[in-house]
Amino acid sequence: MKRGRVHHRRGAPVGPCVPATITWVSADGGEANSGRRRRRRRGRRTSGPKASHTESPAAEASPAAAVTPSRAAQRRSRPARHGPERLRTVHETSAGGLVVDGIDGPREEQVAALIGRVDRRGRMLWSLPKGHIEVGETAEQTAIREVAEETGVQGSVLAALGSIDYWFVTDGHRVHKTVHHYLLRFASGELCDDDMEVAEVAWVPIRELASRLAYADERRLALVADELIDRLQADGPAALPPLPVTAPWRRQQTHSRARRTRTGEPSPDPKNGRGLDP
């Protein structure tokens, strides 16, 4: 293409200089559009057949076109992410109870047997006696046996107080534990702390259970026991709710013990009312 020249006639007045509009002419006589204007028009196209354009070698080798395949290849080559290994869950069932001496007498003279265990901080934590259900036992039979083993006294089951369930982690697995509690009438025996897992045993006045029991769930059971004793003294054993039917246990259980507080429960009075595994 040739550039045009602008000639001024000699002697003719020269006016103010006006920038000349220069049009580039292609070999075939048409105007050659700049790459910028061509891209702008292509971006505004909203309908119609796609225009055919021949891209320059520079556009074909642009960095943007080269990055996309490499990023896709990187995504394909990334190793799969795996979450933390899940702990095996174990389900355990125990039974225990609140054995009361003088249950038919004046309320101010009634006492209940509690056991004490020392936690890692050296604190004495008082709780209800309880333990795992063994093969062939019902929950009521386990409650009677565990009360005798941990306190030294014998009792007979009067009514169900309720069940407590909670979770803790020990020895590389999660334990879901359920404990069935019963109200027992004292029958015979004397307190003793021969059980290796028990630090102390004591007769505690019924009215002081709410302040002595370390775990909120067991304090709620003590309130249930208080109501049942009122009904027992007012209307006799017939006023108590019937005992739920429990079948003998058929399988051997694991005996897990939490050597630390439950997950997210740093104190002996946490959300579920428990701290260390009894």
CATH code, 225: 3.90.79.10
Length of the chain: 278
Tens digits of per-residue pLDDT, 200-214? 999 999 999 999 999
Please compute the mean of the pLDDT values over residues 111-134 and round it to a whole number: 95
Tens digits of per-residue pLDDT, 151-162? 999 999 999 999
Judged against a pLDDT cut of 60, whether residue 259 lies above it is answered with no
Judged against a pLDDT cut of 60, whether residue 242 lies above it is answered with yes
Query: Within a domain: residue 49?
Result: no
**266: confidence class by pLDDT, cuts 50, 70, 90:** very low
Q: Which of 221, 216, 240 is nearest to 180 (CA)?
A: 221
Angle at 149 between CA 148 and CA 153, to 5 degrees: 25
Query: Within a domain: residue 4?
Result: no
Query: Within a domain: residue 51?
Result: no
Query: Within a domain: residue 98?
Result: yes
**263: confidence class by pLDDT, cuts 50, 70, 90:** very low
Query: Within a domain: residue 276?
Result: no
Please compute the mean of the pLDDT values over residues 96-125 and round it to a whole number: 96
In percent, the amount of the chain with pLDDT more than 70 equals 60
Q: For residue 164, list its beta bridge partners.
A: 179
Query: Within a domain: residue 235?
Result: yes
Tens digits of per-residue pLDDT, 47-70? 555 545 445 544 455 544 445 556
| Interatomic CA distance for residues 193 and 201, integer angstroms | 6
User: What pLDDT score was predicted for residue 186?
Assistant: 98
Which residue range forms the structural domain that includes residue 197?
88-239
Query: Within a domain: residue 37?
Result: no
Q: Which of 131, 138, 100 is nearest to 117 (CA)?
A: 131
Structure token digits, residue 38: 């061509």
Into how many domains does the chain fold?
1
Query: Within a domain: residue 133?
Result: yes
Judged against a pLDDT cut of 70, whether residue 27 lies above it is answered with no
More confident residue, 87 or 21: 87
User: What pLDDT score was predicted for residue 205?
Assistant: 98
State whether residue 136 is helix, strand or coil: coil
Judged against a pLDDT cut of 60, whether residue 267 lies above it is answered with no
**236: confidence class by pLDDT, cuts 50, 70, 90:** very high
The b/e string for 210-244 (b: 16+ C-beta within 10 A; e otherwise) is eebbbbbbbbbbbebbbebbeebeeeeeeebeeee
